[in-house]
A and B are shown apart, each in its own frame.
Chain A
Amino acid sequence: MNQIFMRLPGFLLLLAGWVIVLAAVALLRSTAQGIFAIAGLGVQLLGLSFVVRSHLIPHGGKR
């Protein structure tokens, strides 16, 4: 159950980061565009770390 609580927000953050990058491209110009695009990618990296954590195999029990 804990894995789901980590995985779902992780995928939502990946999606949210993409939307931030798209919004930066479509709505902003020059410096702000680049900063928001990098911020969007940062949000995606956070989401990816959540998803990765949710897929770690649990301690205990030989796999």
Chain B
Amino acid sequence: MPIPSRALPDLAAALCFLFILLVPFAAMGLAMINTGLGRSRNAAHMMLSSLCVIAVAAVVYFAVGFSWQGYAGRPGYAFTVSGKLWNWIAAEPFFWRGLKMDGSADSLAALLGMLSVGLAAIIPLGSGADRWRLGASCASAAVLAGWTFPLFAHWVWGGGWLAQLGVNYGLGQGFVDSGGASTVQAVGGLTALAVTWILGPRRGKYTADRMPLAIPGHNGVFILSGCFLAWLGWIGLDSAGAILFTGVEAGRAVLIAANATLAAVSSLVAVALITRARFGKPDASLCANGWVGGLVASSAGCAVIPPAAAMIVGLVAGVLVTFSVELLELHLTVDDPGGAISVHAVGGLWGLLAVGIFADASGQWIAQLAGIATLLGFVLPMTYALHRLLNRVSPMRAAAEGERQGLDLHELGAGAYPDFMSHNDDLQR
């Protein structure tokens, strides 16, 4: 028996649907960036992995994910602390039964969730590039879409306890994340961190005295084209999320598009200036990371902060991404070829904190800190433990021979560029 749906005005519902249709562009953008930043011998593997994790994530989210996520006003389980309700998980039937697909807010939220979880599942592929087996990345996507993402998304987007911090404890408007800086980006970025720790660095990445060797990306055009697609997709994700989860009117999409653009461009400028000053020339792959980092950071507050604040958010994101990439690779021996941890985890956490700094509501910063603490204290240990378990059941890392040969040939039987010699570095050894 379908539960009565919360209605959106027709125009808002139609616009929201159109914005949701833009989200796959963000996924395509990230897939292209990850592919370009990896080695040429793994290019087809990376693109196929991206499609496969989207497929697995969508199926699992449809089967069970939305049941845990739900939507504000729909059934959920809660416990009481000092007379306040803490709604911790939704109680929806499996397979979207009870959900009327009629353009209502609930149905649009389910559709956006299905596309967003695919985007979140692509993020760890960037950090596990060149060494993560296809089957293992699909298993990781299933865990993300079936448990980690829906549970946290319920707390933030589904009327859960983080979203209710404003109503229950007077902390601003509760934890605010309109465009998925926490639910999609930080959850994906922290999963990327867990995956990178478990996989370890690529063979030949570090010398005996822990000095990293440069393994440059193989296709700058892929990387930078991906940025354009991600821009379009992000505007769609931010706008749809803001209409559905922050309750803003559809006209606010103008502010959201302006904020996303300003954050991306100012982040890019910051990275270009920093790398120009330090290395003499702007670094193209870091600039791409900065661009996406700006988009990520702007997601949380896209609908509630003014454009000037979005510029500052982007500038700081650019600085953070640049130095975070260096810190992880050089000092913490974290081999993250796609820069996923710096862009999505660091950028996302900064964006969440920025809402607390720039939003004009008393106690908002404490609500934002509560969300950040939940990501670090609950999501990261949980996703790490789940991936350890997956790795115990079936090793995540490709065999040494597969890594040397390239995952295209090893796992797919054919390379992405059959007409070109792509094993130059092996021939030099």
Contacts and interface: CB of A to CB of B under 8 A. Distances in A.
Interface string B149-179: 0000000000000000100010100000000
Interface string B186-208: 00000000000100110111111
A14 B381 contact: yes
Contacts of B82: 26-27
B276 interface: no
Interface string B364-393: 011001101110111011001000000000
A55 B372 CA distance: 22
Question: Which interface residue of B84, B210, B332, B376 has the most chain A CB atoms within 10 A?
Answer: B376
A41 interface: yes
Given A11-B384, A15-B381, A19-B377, A37 B208 contact: no
B214 interface: no
B381 A11 contact: yes
Interface string B33-66: 0000000000000000000000000000000000
B277 interface: no
Nearest to A17: B377
Contacts of B332: 52, 55-56
Interface string A9-42: 0010011111101101111000001100110110
Chain B interface residue bracket vs A: 20 to 34
A55 B332 CA distance: 8
Contacts of B209: 59
B152 to A, nearest CB: 13
A61 B208 contact: yes
B373 A18 contact: yes
B11 interface: no
Given A11-B384, A63-B204, A34 B366 contact: yes
Given A41-B369, A55-B197, A15 B377 contact: yes
B1 interface: no
A40 B373 contact: yes
User: Among the interface residues A25, A41, A60, which one has the most CB atoms of the partner chain B within 10 A?
Assistant: A25
A57 B333 contact: yes
B200 to A, nearest CB: 7
Contact of B208 (A15, A27, A40, A62): A62
A44 B208 contact: no
Contacts of A61: 208
B257 interface: no
A48 interface: yes
Interface centre among A26, A33, A61 (most CB of B within 10 A): A26
A7 to B, nearest CB: 9
B210 A18 contact: no
A57 B372 CA distance: 28
B334 interface: yes
B333 A37 contact: no
Contacts of A16: 377
B427 interface: no
Contacts of A34: 365-366
A38 B370 CA distance: 10
Given A17-B377, A52-B332, A55-B334, A26 B81 contact: yes
A14 B376 contact: yes
Contacts of B378: 15, 18
Contacts of B365: 34
Contacts of B210: 56-57, 59
Nearest to A44: B376
A62 B384 CA distance: 26
Contact of B370 (A22, A57, A59, A63): A22
Given A56-B332, A60-B208, A61-B208, 18 more contacts: A15-B378, A17-B377, A18-B373, A18-B378, A21-B373, A22-B373, A25-B169, A26-B84, A26-B169, A27-B82, A40-B369, A41-B372, A56-B210, A56-B333, A57-B210, A62-B206, A63-B200, A63-B205
20 contacts: A14-B381, A17-B376, A21-B374, A26-B81, A26-B82, A37-B369, A37-B373, A40-B369, A40-B373, A41-B372, A44-B373, A44-B376, A55-B332, A57-B200, A57-B210, A59-B208, A61-B208, A62-B208, A63-B205, A63-B207
